[in-house]
């Protein structure tokens, strides 16, 4: 893929050969550790320019310090979140909502959706989450002494919960995972095709729920009102598509990275298994160490930031995996310390766009680990196999074969 | 001790509430209620640990004794001013 020319206003000395997509450890790598690989940026300056740092090969500024990422992500006046990341794959321009709206419009939709995923609401959803985790881990424990964690556990677990939330039947699970996979990791042919399929699916679901309301998320969205009016078709689509793409593989990947870590660190594994109360704080540390998402903002005006001449229209990358390895924020950031106190990690981002699903995601991770550790004895990476990790817009792991024979 | 709540900075991470649901109260959207939080004696450690868990730095620890609340006002065990 060609790299875009570096804009004239970027001083050459601020350009670095770093990319979340193409740097060492970012491409699919057996036994890789992409999170550790990106931590190397902390040996360098707080901000630099990466000529190739989006899926479509655009350059971005890269903010390395947690403190500065907070400043960028909290300042929606200067740094917009609207870049039609999904619609652009279709050559269109509509926002995923609320992610790609800026305040004040953002706040209206955020207030509409917040109660559906608030910490209290998540407590109500929790019984179904646990039931699903128990069913899957029981089946895995009963059927042998090894499994493919992503295929047999994390995807069927997290996607099921998400489908239930949206109000969709479970039998289409593999189809949805396939779409998400094409969208996130597909090439220039597969990506737009998957995007079109997802849009058509969400539009159809919205139209069905308008005619036949059910007790689910899409029904809520098509019946909802903001500022005294119903949502437009484009708004309904923007919300549906966001929930679809945000919920599909981020949590599955997080749990995959967590189990890979525990498989390689039997002492930590046993430390959690012997005292399950430790899992809640440990999940926070694992979120710090293995977050999955890079946030990108677009400068709405010229600003000099820590010596960097950011100009209107420039992309600014705030990668959670970089902030979470900032030595100014976390003591020994590359050491995973499951009891780490004061763990103010950035896995769910900072500012008004803080992950709407964060409370559900947290509970899925905790419950997933609890039920896995309760039923699966001391496990390790199966001999002769190697999990494959990748960087990119969303970090991922596959071929994670665990063995407890 | 008092926790100063910078309400505008709260983005609903709810880490304070996760640590100390009896000290930090959330609204229906999951964001902290407005108003500083007076911390009862004995709850200081938990309250400060909770405040330090805020990713947005929305909670500021003010170590002044709770007695700073206007005299004559009955102070609830865990209250808001």
pLDDT at A75 over 80: yes
Chain A CB contacts of B17 below 8 Å: 119
Nearest to A330 by CA among A310, A314, A344: A344
Query: B13 vs A348: CB contact, 8 Å cut-off?
Result: yes
Rounded to an integer, the average pLDDT of A123-142 is: 96
Three-state DSSP class for A45?
Answer: coil
Q: How far apart are CA A16 and CA A14, in angstroms?
A: 6
Distance from CA of A178 to the nearest CA of B (A): 31
Q: b/e string for A288-317 if b means 16 or more Cβ within 10 A?
A: bbbbbbbbbbbbbeebebeebbbbeebbbb
pLDDT at A188 over 90: no
Q: Which of A111, A119, A344 sits opposite B17 (nearest CB)?
A: A119
Nearest to A377 by CA among A31, A133, A137: A137
Chain A CB contacts of B48 below 8 Å: none
Query: B18 vs A358: CB contact, 8 Å cut-off?
Result: no
Q: Does A341 touch chain B (CB under 8 A)?
A: yes
Which band of pLDDT confidence, cut at 50, 70 and 90, is reported for residue A90? confident
Q: Which tens digits make up the pLDDT trace of A233-243?
A: 999 999 999 98
Q: Does A343 touch chain B (CB under 8 A)?
A: yes
Query: B17 vs A345: CB contact, 8 Å cut-off?
Result: no
Topology of the domain comprising B2-69: Alpha-Beta Plaits (3.30.70)
Q: Does A354 touch chain B (CB under 8 A)?
A: yes
What integer pLDDT is reported at residue A173 of this predicted model?
A: 80
> Does the ipTM exceed 0.90?
yes
Nearest to A19 by CA among A60, A63, A47: A60
Q: Does B57 touch chain A (CB under 8 A)?
A: yes
Query: B57 vs A348: CB contact, 8 Å cut-off?
Result: no
Q: Does A104 touch chain B (CB under 8 A)?
A: no
- Tell which wins on pLDDT, A248 or A389: A389
Query: A118 vs B29: CB contact, 8 Å cut-off?
Result: yes
Which band of pLDDT confidence, cut at 50, 70 and 90, is reported for residue B59? very high
Q: Taking a C-beta distance cutoff of 8 angstroms, is the pair A73, A318 a contact?
A: yes
Q: Would the pTM count as exceeding 0.90?
A: yes
What integer pLDDT is reported at residue A100 of this predicted model?
A: 94
Domain ranges of chain B: 2-69
Q: Does B56 touch chain A (CB under 8 A)?
A: yes
Distance from CA of B52 to the nearest CA of A (A): 6
Nearest to A239 by CA among A231, A230, A250, A251: A231
Closest-CA residue in chain A for B52? Answer: A342
Chain B CB contacts of A120 below 8 Å: 26, 28, 30
Rounded to an integer, the average pLDDT of A72-89 is: 91
Nearest to A35 by CA among A262, A291, A328: A291
Query: B57 vs A70: CB contact, 8 Å cut-off?
Result: yes
Q: Which tens digits make up the pLDDT trace of B62-80?
A: 987 654 554 444 444 444 4
Q: Taking a C-beta distance cutoff of 8 angstroms, is the pair A360, A122 a contact?
A: yes
pLDDT at B43 over 60: yes
Q: b/e string for B36-71 if b means 16 or more Cβ within 10 A?
A: bbbbbeebeeebbebbbbbbbebbebeeeebeebee
What integer pLDDT is reported at residue B65 of this predicted model?
A: 63
Token readout for A154 is 């994390």
Q: Does B12 touch chain A (CB under 8 A)?
A: yes
Q: Taking a C-beta distance cutoff of 8 angstroms, is the pair B5, B48 a contact?
A: no
Token readout for A212 is 């036949």
In sequence order, the 6+-apart residues with CB closer than 8 A to the CB of A61 are A47, A48, A49, A50, A305, A308, A310, A314, A315, A316, A317
What integer pLDDT is reported at residue A157 of this predicted model?
A: 94
Rounded to an integer, the average pLDDT of A249-270 is: 96
pLDDT at A144 over 50: yes
Q: Give the sign of the dihedral formed by CA B40, CA B44, CA B45, CA B46.
A: positive
Chain A CB contacts of B7 below 8 Å: none
Query: A344 vs B14: CB contact, 8 Å cut-off?
Result: no
**Cα angle value A27/A36/A291 (rounded, 5°):** 85
pLDDT at A183 over 70: yes
Total Cβ atoms within 10 A of residue A266: 12
Q: Does B77 touch chain A (CB under 8 A)?
A: no
Chain B CB contacts of A358 below 8 Å: 13
Q: Which residue has the tokens 């099921």?
A: A160
Chain B CB contacts of A341 below 8 Å: 49, 52
Query: B30 vs A352: CB contact, 8 Å cut-off?
Result: no
Q: How far apart are CA B10 and CA B19, in angstroms?
A: 16
How far is residue A65 from each of residues A35, A54, A69, A324, B29, measured CA to CA in Å? 15, 19, 6, 9, 29
Query: B30 vs A111: CB contact, 8 Å cut-off?
Result: no
DSSP structure class, residue A145 = S
Mean pLDDT of chain A: 94
How far is residue A369 from each of residues A284, A361, A382, B37, measured CA to CA in Å? 12, 12, 19, 34
Chain B CB contacts of A115 below 8 Å: 28-30
Total Cβ atoms within 10 A of residue B18: 16
Which band of pLDDT confidence, cut at 50, 70 and 90, is reported for residue A1? very low
Q: Which tens digits make up the pLDDT trace of A25-68?
A: 999 999 999 999 999 999 999 999 999 999 888 999 999 999 99
Peptide bond into A98 cis (omega under 30): yes
Q: How far apart are CA A207 and CA A233, in angstroms?
A: 9
Token readout for A148 is 């493919």
Total Cβ atoms within 10 A of residue B7: 12
Interchain CB contacts (distance < 8 Å): A and B: 56
Q: How far apart are CA A50 and CA A15, in angstroms?
A: 6
Q: Taking a C-beta distance cutoff of 8 angstroms, is the pair A365, A258 a contact?
A: yes
Closest-CA residue in chain A for B30? Answer: A118
What integer pLDDT is reported at residue A3 of this predicted model?
A: 56
pLDDT at A76 over 90: yes
What are the phi and psi torsion angles at A225 (to 5°)? -125, 140
Distance from CA of A66 to the nearest CA of B (A): 10
What integer pLDDT is reported at residue A365 of this predicted model?
A: 98
In sequence order, the 6+-apart residues with CB closer than 8 A to the CB of A25 are A32, A33, A34, A36, A37, A38, A389, A391
Token readout for A75 is 């300042």
HSE-CB of B28 using CA atoms within 13 angstroms: 5
Start-to-end C-alpha separation, chain A? 44
Distance from CA of A356 to the nearest CA of B (A): 9
What chain A holds in terms of domains, given with CATH numbers, is 12-403 (1.10.630.10)
């Amino acid at each position: 893929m060609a790299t875009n020319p570096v804009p004239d206003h970027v001083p050459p000395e601020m350009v670095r050969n770093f990319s979340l997509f193409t740097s060492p450890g970012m491409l699919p790598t057996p036994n890789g550790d992409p999170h550790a690989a990106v931590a190397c940026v902390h040996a360098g300056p707080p901000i630099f320019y990466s000529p190739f740092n989006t899926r479509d090969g655009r350059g971005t500024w890269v903010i390395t310090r947690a403190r500065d990422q907070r400043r960028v992500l909290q300042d929606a006046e200067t740094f917009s979140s609207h870049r039609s990341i999904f619609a652009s794959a279709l050559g269109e321009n509509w926002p995923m909502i609320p992610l790609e709206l800026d305040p004040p419009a953002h706040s209206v939709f955020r207030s509409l959706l917040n109660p559906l995923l608030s910490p209290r609401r998540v407590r109500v959803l929790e019984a179904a989450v646990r039931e699903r985790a128990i069913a899957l881990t029981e089946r895995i424990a009963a059927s042998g002494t090894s499994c493919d964690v992503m295929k047999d556990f994390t995807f069927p677990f997290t996607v099921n919960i998400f489908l239930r939330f949206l109000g969709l039947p479970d039998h289409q699970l593999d189809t949805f995972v396939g779409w998400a996979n094409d969208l996130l990791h597909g090439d220039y042919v597969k990506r737009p095709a998957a995007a079109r399929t997802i849009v058509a699916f969400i539009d159809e679901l919205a139209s069905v729920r308008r005619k036949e309301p059910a007790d689910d998320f899409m029904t809520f969205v098509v019946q909802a009102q903001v500022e005294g009016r119903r949502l437009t078709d484009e708004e309904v689509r923007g919300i549906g598509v966001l929930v679809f793409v945000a919920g599909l593989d981020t949590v599955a990947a997080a749990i995959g990275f967590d189990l890979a870590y525990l498989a390689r660190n039997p002492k930590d594994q046993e430390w959690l298994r012997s005292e399950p109360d430790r899992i809640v704080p440990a999940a926070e540390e694992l979120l710090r160490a293995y977050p999955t998402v890079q946030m990108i903002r677009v400068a709405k005006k010229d600003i000099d930031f820590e010596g960097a001449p950011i100009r209107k229209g420039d992309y600014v990358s705030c990668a959670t995996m970089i902030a979470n390895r900032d030595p100014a924020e976390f003591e020994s950031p590359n050491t995973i310390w499951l009891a780490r106190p004061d763990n103010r990690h950035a896995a769910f981002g900072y500012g008004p766009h803080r992950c709407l699903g964060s409370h559900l995601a947290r509970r899925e991770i905790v419950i997933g680990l609890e039920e896995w550790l309760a039923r699966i004895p001391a496990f390790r990476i199966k001999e002769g196999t190697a999990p494959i990790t990748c960087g990119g817009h969303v970090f991922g792991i596959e071929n994670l074969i665990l063995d407890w024979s | 001790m008092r926790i100063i709540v910078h309400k505008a900075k709260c983005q609903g991470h709810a880490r304070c509430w996760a640590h100390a649901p009896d000290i930090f109260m959330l609204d229906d959207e999951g964001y902290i209620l407005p108003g500083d939080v007076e911390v009862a004696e004995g709850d200081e450690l938990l309250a400060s640990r909770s405040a330090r868990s805020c990713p947005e730095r929305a909670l500021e620890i003010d170590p002044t004794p709770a007695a700073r609340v206007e005299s004559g006002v009955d102070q609830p065990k865990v209250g808001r001013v």
